[in-house]
């Protein structure tokens, strides 16, 4: 039979195992802001590199579904850091309205995707009750098989299991590693555990070479990304900011849709070297005091992009003129408005002049 | 006193109390985090109380008891209310580790009664006030919990010294 002294001793033991509280956020300053209205979500595009500076805006055609977003007041503030083992490195970071991601390369060439979802985005009811449990940094995690958590869907790439865990109150995180066929399943799971346990609550700022202010009505930033590691491409962009119009974007009605409708995506790429603008096919412009060109391919067609001298470049696709609701986007005017909304760092080649994500993104 | 200064001086005690209450380090953090946000919004009132720490401790108890209802949609049902202590008690003796495991399986309200009585050192009347129930309910909840834990009440044996009123930062 136990005694009350045993109970008291047990409580002392339990209290001695209490977290130190350093991971908590202590409110300071003015009262916390209330939630903003829900906004639109989108997909990710990206690429990157190093060196001198040149942003590029690309317009791609992508089917998009309207999904609700629950952004916090600091939606663009990085939510997590990574303290990776030796030999591992962060390839890229992505900020999105619903989640934040990092792509991590392991010492053996494995690729892992770490995601922290904003509160309420990840539905834990998806986790089957009989899933294996693990502990991730003191939090309960589960071994699952959810293909949508996998970063690389290339044929021949295997991703048998993934990890999800409770990151903090209301927020969940996932870790998914992939490798070519033949990979040891247990090794992949071990890599996922390594990656998950490297996630910290001490994020470093994510900086961008330009600040966006005054986008065309209804357009929002749907993804902002930085690439840090070397890529296969010889001259990949270092930064990509993806913009999409919501249904309230300023567009014009189209009586009869000429083709299956989709919404435009404009991506601002920031290249380390000047983009080779094809001068003969370009229309010279001046944007925010910078020389710029509208680029037509073929000549005379809807502009495919826009570039400034060593600074800005936009590419477009002639099929983007119609969005999902049957409204025509004025490509020329839209590209000019977006270009006008970009404020560049004083010296884009000097990262110390770049803007923190919270300042850079609207 | 500024809220952040008060929290920094009491945080360790609040975390210890939450850990005793929740038997789960992650849950203890979540509960205290929620309470800090709420207490911050009401700090003008709380600061003027005789014992702000007692009020915040009561908020922690209520947050813990409401936690299941509040976060149920975010959490796998298997982990709600049935969590085992996340802390590693391998270094403790087997008997104590077993007791801790059984504590974690108690219903949250019974766990709260025991934590308030044997860790925070509150009287049954004070516990009743904290839990908004009658002292007789406190006694019956405590009796059930002690029976489930097979703890013998020995009249005449003094209860270990209670950390009240500064239980939050005792130890």
Q: Which residue in B2, B8, B30 is closest to A169 by CB distance?
A: B30
A30 touches chain B (CB under 8 A): no
Give the distance from CA B144 to its chain's centroid.
Answer: 17
pLDDT > 80? residue A287: no
The string of pLDDT tens digits covering residues A9-38 is 889 888 988 888 876 767 765 443 333 322
Q: Do B37 and A32 touch (CB under 8 A)?
A: yes
Residues 163-222 of A with CB under 8 A from B: 166, 168-170, 172
A55 is a domain residue: no
For residues A351 and A213, membership in a common domain is answered with: yes
Mean pLDDT of the A118-131 span: 80
Which of B100, B79, B90 lies closest to B23 in space, CA to CA?
B100
What DSSP string runs through A173-186? EEEEEEEETT--HH
pLDDT at B112: 93
Angle formed by the axes of helices B124-131 and B52-71, nearest 10°: 50
Quickly state the pLDDT bin for A91 (edges 50, 70, 90): confident
Q: Which residue in B7, B18, B151 is closest to A6 by CB distance?
A: B151
The string of pLDDT tens digits covering residues A208-222 is 988 998 888 878 888
Q: Which of A148, A181, A200 is the last residue of a domain?
A: A200
For residues A211 and A332, membership in a common domain is answered with: yes
The string of pLDDT tens digits covering residues B97-128 is 888 888 888 888 999 999 999 998 899 999 99
From A35's Cα to the closest Cα of chain B, the distance in A is: 14
Name chain B contacts of A119, Cβ cutoff 8 Å: 74
The string of pLDDT tens digits covering residues B121-131 is 899 999 998 88
A232 touches chain B (CB under 8 A): no
Q: Which residue has the tokens 């969940």?
A: A172
Mean pLDDT of the A332-351 span: 79
Q: Which of A148-157, A224-233, A335-344 has the lowest mean pLDDT?
A: A148-157
Name chain A contacts of B159, Cβ cutoff 8 Å: 4, 8
Mean pLDDT of chain B, nearest integer: 76
How many pairs of residues across A and B have Cβ atoms under 8 Å apart? 154
Name chain A contacts of B29, Cβ cutoff 8 Å: 19, 21, 23-24, 168
A124 is a domain residue: yes
**Residue to substitute from B30, B73, B74, B163, interface A, most A β-carbons within 10 A:** B74
Q: Which of A200, A232, A264 is the last residue of a domain?
A: A200
pLDDT at A37: 29
The string of pLDDT tens digits covering residues B67-87 is 655 444 333 333 333 333 444
pLDDT at A34: 32
From B152's Cα to the closest Cα of chain A, the distance in A is: 5
A139 touches chain B (CB under 8 A): yes
pLDDT at B59: 92
Residues 43-72 of B with CB under 8 A from A: 71
Distances A321 to A297, A312, A313, A326, B145 between C-alpha atoms, Å: 15, 22, 19, 10, 69
Question: What percent of chain A has pLDDT above 70?
Answer: 58
Residue B86: both structure tokens together:
């996340």
A28 is a domain residue: no
The predicted complex's ipTM stands at 0.80
pLDDT at B60: 93
Residue A28: both structure tokens together:
């300071």
For residues A254 and A350, membership in a common domain is answered with: yes
Tell me the CATH number at A116: 3.40.1000
A230 is a domain residue: yes
Mean pLDDT of chain A, nearest integer: 69
Q: Do B118 and A11 touch (CB under 8 A)?
A: yes
pLDDT > 60? residue B89: no
Q: Do A8 and B7 touch (CB under 8 A)?
A: no
Q: Is B44 helix (H, G, I), strand (E, B) or coil?
A: helix
Quickly state the pLDDT bin for A246 (edges 50, 70, 90): low
pLDDT at A179: 66
Check residues A170 and B149 and name the one with the higher pLDDT: B149
Quickly state the pLDDT bin for A94 (edges 50, 70, 90): very high
Omega cis (within 30) before B165: yes
Q: Do B34 and A169 touch (CB under 8 A)?
A: yes
For residues A112 and A217, membership in a common domain is answered with: no
Which of B16, B11, B24, B164 lies closest to B108 in space, CA to CA?
B24
Which of B109, B82, B94 lies closest to A2 in space, CA to CA?
B94
For A244, the domain range is: 207-360
Residues 77-136 of B with CB under 8 A from A: 77-79, 83, 85-89, 92, 95-96, 99-100, 103, 114-115, 118-119
Question: Domains in chain A: how many in total?
Answer: 2
pLDDT at A202: 87
The string of pLDDT tens digits covering residues A51-66 is 233 344 443 323 232 2
pLDDT at B114: 94
Is residue A285 within 8 A of residue A293, CB to CB? The reply is yes
For residues A275 and A330, membership in a common domain is answered with: yes
For residues A231 and A354, membership in a common domain is answered with: yes
Omega cis (within 30) before A354: no
Tell me the domains of chain B and their CATH numbers: 3-169 (1.20.140.160)
């Amino acid at each position: 039979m136990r005694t009350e002294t045993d109970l008291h001793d047990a409580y002392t033991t339990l209290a001695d195992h209490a977290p130190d509280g350093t991971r908590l956020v202590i409110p300071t300053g003015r009262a916390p802001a209330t939630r903003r209205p829900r906004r639109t979500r989108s997909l990710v595009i990206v690429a990157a590199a190093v060196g001198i500076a040149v942003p590029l805006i690309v317009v791609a055609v992508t089917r998009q579904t309207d999904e609700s977003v629950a952004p916090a007041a600091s939606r663009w503030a990085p939510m997590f850091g990574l303290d990776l083992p030796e030999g591992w490195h962060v390839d890229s970071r992505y900020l999105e309205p619903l989640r934040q991601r990092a792509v991590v390369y392991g010492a053996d060439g494995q690729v892992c995707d770490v995601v922290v979802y904003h509160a309420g985005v990840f539905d834990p009811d998806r986790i089957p009750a009989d899933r294996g449990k693990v502990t991730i940094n003191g939090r309960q995690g589960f071994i699952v098989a959810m293909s949508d958590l996998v970063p690389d869907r290339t044929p021949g790439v295997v991703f048998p299991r993934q990890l999800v865990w409770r990151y903090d109150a209301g927020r969940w995180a996932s870790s998914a590693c992939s490798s070519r066929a033949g990979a040891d399943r247990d090794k992949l799971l071990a890599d996922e555990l390594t990656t998950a346990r490297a996630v910290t609550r001490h994020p470093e700022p994510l900086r961008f070479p330009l600040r966006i202010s005054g986008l065309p009505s209804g357009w929002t930033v749907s993804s902002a990304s930085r690439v840090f590691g070397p890529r296969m491409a010889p001259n990949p962009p270092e930064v990509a900011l993806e913009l999409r119009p919501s249904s309230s974007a300023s567009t014009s009605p189209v009586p009869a849709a000429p083709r299956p409708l989709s919404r435009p995506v404009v991506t601002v790429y920031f290249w380390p070297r000047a983009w080779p603008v094809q001068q003969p096919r370009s229309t010279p412009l001046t944007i925010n005091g910078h020389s710029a060109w509208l680029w037509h391919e073929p000549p005379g067609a809807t502009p495919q992009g826009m570039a400034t001298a060593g600074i800005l470049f936009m590419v477009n696709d002639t099929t983007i003129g119609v969005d999902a609701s049957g409204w025509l986007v004025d490509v020329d005017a839209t590209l000019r408005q977006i270009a006008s909304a970009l404020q560049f760092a004083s010296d884009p080649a000097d990262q110390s002049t770049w803007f923190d994500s919270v300042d850079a993104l609207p | 006193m500024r809220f952040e200064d008060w929290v920094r001086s009491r945080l360790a005690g609040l975390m210890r109390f939450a850990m005793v209450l929740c038997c789960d380090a992650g849950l203890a953090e979540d509960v205290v985090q929620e309470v800090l946000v709420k207490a911050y919004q009401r700090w003008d009132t709380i600061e003027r109380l005789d014992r702000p720490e007692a009020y915040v401790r009561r908020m922690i108890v209520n947050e813990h008891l409401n936690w299941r209802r509040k976060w149920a949609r975010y959490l796998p049902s298997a982990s709600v209310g049935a969590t085992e202590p996340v802390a590693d008690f391998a270094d403790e003796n087997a008997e104590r580790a077993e007791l801790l495991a059984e504590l974690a399986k108690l219903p949250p309200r019974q766990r709260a009664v025991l934590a308030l009585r044997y860790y925070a050192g509150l009287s049954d009347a004070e516990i009743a006030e904290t839990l908004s129930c009658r002292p007789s309910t406190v006694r019956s909840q405590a009796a059930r919990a002690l029976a489930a834990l097979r703890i013998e009440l020995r009249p005449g044996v003094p209860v270990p010294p209670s950390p009240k009123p500064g239980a939050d930062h005792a130890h």
